[in-house]
């Protein structure tokens, strides 16, 4: 028993002995990450300590100390040798401070551990925006097998504990987090994502020495998280809109304070409290109330317009033409709606609060909707920090409504930018009451394609393609292609499908209320295969899905298509003289569980023509991970069916 106990004690002590600037030969010799051999790099160690420090001038401040150790396995992992530390630094007001940066590169040379320290002149500060900057450094002498050790301190000017993130793009061999909170602060703790390590809660004593025998003793709550072999979370799989929605993490939000000899202050939030607080703020409700700056212009623009639908359309286009998005997100107005209107540029809130105000001024029942963008995660609990975006909603008779976002040049009513399609938003009325609003459309967006083609005597395929795109498929098409020159668009199509194009045309590029249409003539030399006098042709020609996009055996997070959609493809193929049909793929149809999707495939021959109908419908924007196996099998069957060949023989 003594031997076992001593062994366990030694193991614990050894596990704790990870010191900054001390790297072992074993770490440098490690050729790959044992739990994930595909990893190009890994965190050998991630240590974080967050605690409160008292300053006689500023009071309690939050400090976080970071120590990260990164192993580079191959050249593809060299990107992790560039260390970036983003931090909050507005052009005015208090900012975060990054200090005590120290970093080394370690290599094994001639059997000995060699280390090289990064110099202060190699650490650069770069401004990212009016609100954020980044400390950036590229580690010296990085090779395959290098180990990088980095530590720094982050000081916050406000009582907010940054989220504890557990999962990253690369795996973590060992993670050690500790958060120390004085008894005067009460924080709500909430898990996020699918990876949830064990949280251990303990207490320790703390004190503040004010001098002159004046000492304040208090209790500190200590929250510790230790984990090993934390799996990576990266976009290796398709249809992941934002990994932040699924990344393992823990949020801390201030619920209350009880300072010595002070009254108890409750910061706990309900959705109604959050909504009213935001609505009453100067940068939100205060900006909504302003009308003077646009009143005359809007009245002149709406002269003679009486119907609500026409007012919605006109005001929406008026705002889009007047103010362009400056690429800054924001739940609150940045420079103020009046200045944004005058300068013709503003952040998300500047533009969409302006839109809401103008619609109200025009007699339309419009309200702002609080949104968390795709990159910001999903606010599952009442929080003011969970929203970073605002759109406009117009209520119509019959429990109908229209969602509007004037920050995207190609958005239309009820077609929001993709960045805003984050499940649900929170509508806030004039009196501050709120309710949930579904942001994901129920209507299918459609891509409808027709190909009329013939197989020539030279066994080439000549034909013409016509496609129409509606709603979100149209938004995506315009966003991808409207900024490109026509020859770039055609080159991409030729490269993707291995065909030659001519007579290329796009219609309704800027007529946003209409489906965008694309058409072109094509010649394909490799679409027909001749074997022993027989011709083999894929029924959908170059439109067939040739491989299953879903590769992983399992998936822990949903498949996010963003919106329901339909892909309809009709193909008519004229077979060459002297040939007839020997066999056709069998027509088939199958479904996903819970009516989440359907696939129909019909192939027919009549005389010298073969007609093909492909119809794929995805009825749910989000497929839960419990149905991933079904979805993977659904695509597997679909690929197998589409790649079956038409067989033609000489008559």
CA 232, 237, 242, 248 torsion-angle sign: negative
Beta carbons of 173 and 228 less than 8 angstroms apart? yes
CATH number of the domain within which 402 lies: 3.10.620.30
Distances (CA, A) of 449 to 270, 301, 507: 48, 39, 15
> What pLDDT, on a 0 to 100 scale, did the predictor assign at position 452?
97
Beta carbons of 44 and 66 less than 8 angstroms apart? no
Q: Report residue 193: phi and psi, to 5°.
A: 85, -165
- The 3-state DSSP composition of the chain as helix, strand, coil percent (nearest 5) reads 20, 40, 35
Answer yes or no: do 251 and 305 share one domain. no
Block residue for tokens 């055996």: 553
Beta carbons of 631 and 623 less than 8 angstroms apart? yes
Answer yes or no: do 389 and 466 share one domain. no
> What pLDDT, on a 0 to 100 scale, did the predictor assign at position 235?
65
CATH number of the domain within which 512 lies: 2.60.120.1130
Answer yes or no: do 586 and 454 share one domain. yes
Residues belonging to the chain: 651
The alpha-helical segments, DSSP class H, found in 291-417 are 295-301, 308-322, 337-343, 348-361
Q: Give CA–CA dist 177/63, Å, rounded.
A: 13
| Beta-carbon-side half-sphere exposure of residue 378 (alpha carbons within 13 Å) | 17
C-alpha triplet 225, 231, 234: angle, nearest 5°: 120
Q: Give CA–CA dist 454/459, Å, rounded.
A: 9
Answer yes or no: do 297 and 393 share one domain. yes
Q: Report residue 285: phi and psi, to 5°.
A: -65, -35
* Residue whose C-alpha is closest to residue 221's, from 262, 191, 254, 184: 184
Question: How many angstroms from the chain centroid is the CA of residue 446?
Answer: 23
Q: Give CA–CA dist 133/603, Å, rounded.
A: 58
Rg over alpha carbons for the chain, rounded to the nearest Å, is 30
Question: Looking at the 3D structure of the chain, how many domains does it have?
Answer: 3
Beta carbons of 630 and 592 less than 8 angstroms apart? yes
Q: Alpha-carbon dihedral of residues 310, 316, 317, 320, nearest 10 degrees?
A: 180
Q: Report residue 623: phi and psi, to 5°.
A: -105, 120
> What pLDDT, on a 0 to 100 scale, did the predictor assign at position 99?
95
Pairing of strands 579-583, 646-650: antiparallel
Question: Among 385, 405, 438, where does a domain finish?
Answer: 438
Answer yes or no: do 26 and 126 share one domain. yes
Answer yes or no: do 498 and 556 share one domain. yes
> What pLDDT, on a 0 to 100 scale, did the predictor assign at position 593?
96
The first and second tokens of residue 532, run together, are: 């022993």
Answer yes or no: do 75 and 108 share one domain. yes
Q: State the CB neighbour count (10 A cutoff) for residue 30.
A: 17
Q: Give CA–CA dist 375/327, Å, rounded.
A: 14
Reported pTM: 0.86
Distances (CA, A) of 208 to 235, 536, 538: 47, 83, 78
> What pLDDT, on a 0 to 100 scale, did the predictor assign at position 280?
87
Question: Which residues on adjacent β-strands are paired with residue 401?
Answer: 395
Answer yes or no: do 468 and 560 share one domain. yes
Answer yes or no: do 422 and 479 share one domain. no
Question: How many angstroms from the chain centroid is the CA of residue 81?
Answer: 24
Pairing of strands 445-455, 249-257: unpaired
Q: Give CA–CA dist 541/173, Å, rounded.
A: 48
Answer yes or no: do 411 and 554 share one domain. no
Block residue for tokens 């040739």: 546
CATH number of the domain within which 66 lies: 2.60.40.3140
Q: Give CA–CA dist 284/336, Å, rounded.
A: 10
Q: Give CA–CA dist 142/72, Å, rounded.
A: 8
Question: Which residues on adjacent β-strands are paired with residue 394?
Answer: 366, 402
Block residue for tokens 């280390």: 115
Checking phi first, is residue 261 left (phi over 0); if not, alpha (psi -120 to 50) or beta?
left
Coil vs helix vs strand at 63: strand
Task: Write out 170-214 in H/E/C secondary structure.
Answer: CCEEEEEEEEEEECCEEEEEEEECCCCCCCEEEEEEEEEEEECCE
Q: At what angle do helices 348-361 and 308-322 cross, to 10 degrees?
A: 150
Answer yes or no: do 473 and 599 share one domain. yes
Q: State the CB neighbour count (10 A cutoff) for residue 151.
A: 17
- The rounded average pLDDT for each run of 10 residues, N- to C-terminus, in the chain (651 residues) is 43 62 94 93 97 87 96 96 92 88 95 93 89 92 96 91 94 97 93 92 90 86 96 82 84 90 83 86 94 96 94 97 95 94 96 98 96 84 85 95 97 96 92 90 97 95 98 97 95 96 96 96 95 95 94 89 97 95 95 96 95 97 95 96 95 83
Pairing of strands 345-346, 324-325: parallel
The H or E element containing residue 271 is helix 271-279
Answer yes or no: do 392 and 462 share one domain. no
Q: State the CB neighbour count (10 A cutoff) for residue 232.
A: 19
Domain that holds residue 372: 271-438
Question: Among 376, 403, 438, where does a domain finish?
Answer: 438
Question: Among 438, 456, 483, where does a domain finish?
Answer: 438
- Give every CB contact of residue 253 below 8 A, 6+ residues apart in sequence: 187, 188, 190, 269, 381, 383, 385
């Amino acid at each position: 028993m003594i031997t076992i106990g001593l062994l366990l004690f030694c193991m614990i002590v050894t596990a704790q002995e990870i010191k900054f600037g001390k790297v072992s030969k074993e770490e440098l010799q490690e050729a790959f990450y044992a739990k994930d051999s595909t990893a190009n790099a890994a965190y050998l160690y991630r240590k974080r300590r967050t605690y409160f420090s008292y300053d006689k001038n500023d009071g309690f401040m939050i400090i976080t100390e970071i120590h990260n150790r990164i192993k580079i396995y191959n050249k593809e992992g060299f990107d992790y040798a560039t260390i970036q530390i983003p931090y909050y630094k507005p052009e005015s007001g208090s900012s975060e401070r990054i200090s005590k940066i120290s970093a080394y590169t370690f290599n094994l040379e001639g059997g000995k551990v060699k280390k090289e320290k990064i110099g202060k002149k190699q650490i650069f500060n770069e401004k990212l925006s009016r609100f954020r900057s980044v400390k950036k450094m590229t580690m010296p002498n990085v090779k395959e097998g290098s180990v990088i050790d980095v530590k720094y301190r982050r000081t916050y000017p406000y009582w907010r504990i940054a989220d504890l993130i557990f999962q990253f793009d690369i795996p973590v061999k060992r993670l050690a987090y500790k958060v120390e909170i004085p008894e005067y602060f009460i924080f709500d703790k909430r898990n996020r994502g699918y990876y949830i390590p064990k949280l251990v809660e303990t207490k320790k004593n703390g004190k503040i020495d004010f001098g002159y025998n004046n000492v304040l003793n208090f209790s500190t709550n200590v929250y510790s998280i230790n984990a090993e072999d934390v799996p990576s979370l990266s976009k290796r799989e398709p249809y992941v809109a934002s990994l932040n929605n699924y990344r393992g993490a823990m949020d801390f939000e201030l619920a209350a304070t009880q300072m010595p000899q002070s009254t108890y202050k409750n910061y706990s939030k309900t959705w109604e409290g959050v909504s009213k607080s935001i609505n009453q703020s100067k940068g939100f409700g205060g900006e909504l109330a302003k009308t003077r700056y646009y009143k005359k212009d809007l009245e002149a623009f709406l002269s003679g317009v009486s119907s609500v639908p026409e007012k919605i359309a006109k005001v929406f286009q008026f705002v889009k033409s007047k103010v362009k998005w400056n690429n800054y997100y924001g739940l609150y107005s940045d420079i103020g709606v009046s200045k944004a209107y005058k300068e013709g540029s503003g952040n998300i809130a500047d533009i969409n609060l302006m839109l809401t105000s103008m619609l109200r001024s025009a007699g339309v029942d419009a309200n702002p909707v609080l949104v968390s963008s795709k990159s910001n995660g999903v606010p599952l609990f009442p929080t003011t920090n969970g929203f970073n975006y605002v759109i406009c909603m117009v209520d119509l008779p019959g429990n109908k409504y229209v969602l509007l976002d004037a920050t995207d040049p190609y958005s239309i009513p009820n077609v929001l930018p993709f960045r805003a399609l984050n499940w649900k938003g929170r509508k806030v009325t004039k009196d501050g009451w709120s309710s949930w609003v579904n942001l994901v459309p129920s209507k299918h967006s459609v891509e409808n394609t027709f190909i009329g083609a013939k197989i020539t005597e030279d066994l080439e395929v000549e034909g013409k393609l016509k496609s129409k795109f509606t709603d979100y498929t149209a938004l995506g098409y315009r966003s991808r292609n409207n900024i490109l020159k026509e020859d770039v668009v055609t080159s991409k199509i030729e490269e993707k499908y291995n065909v030659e194009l001519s007579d290329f045309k796009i219609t309704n590029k800027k007529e946003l209320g209409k489906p965008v249409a694309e058409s072109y003539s094509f010649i394909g030399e490799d679409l027909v295969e001749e074997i022993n006098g027989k011709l083999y042709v894929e029924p959908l020609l170059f439109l067939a899905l040739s491989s299953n996009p879903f590769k992983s055996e399992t998936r822990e997070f949903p498949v996010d298509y963003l919106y329901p959609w339909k892909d309809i493809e009709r193909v008519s193929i004229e077979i060459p003289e002297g040939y007839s049909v020997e066999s056709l793929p069998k027509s088939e149809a199958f479904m996903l569980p819970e009516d989440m999707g359907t696939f129909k495939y019909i192939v027919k021959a009549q005389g010298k023509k073969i007609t093909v109908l492909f119809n794929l419908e995805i009825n749910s924007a989000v497929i839960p991970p419990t149905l991933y196996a079904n979805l993977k099998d659904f695509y597997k069957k679909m690929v197998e069916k589409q790649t079956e060949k038409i067989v033609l023989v000489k008559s």
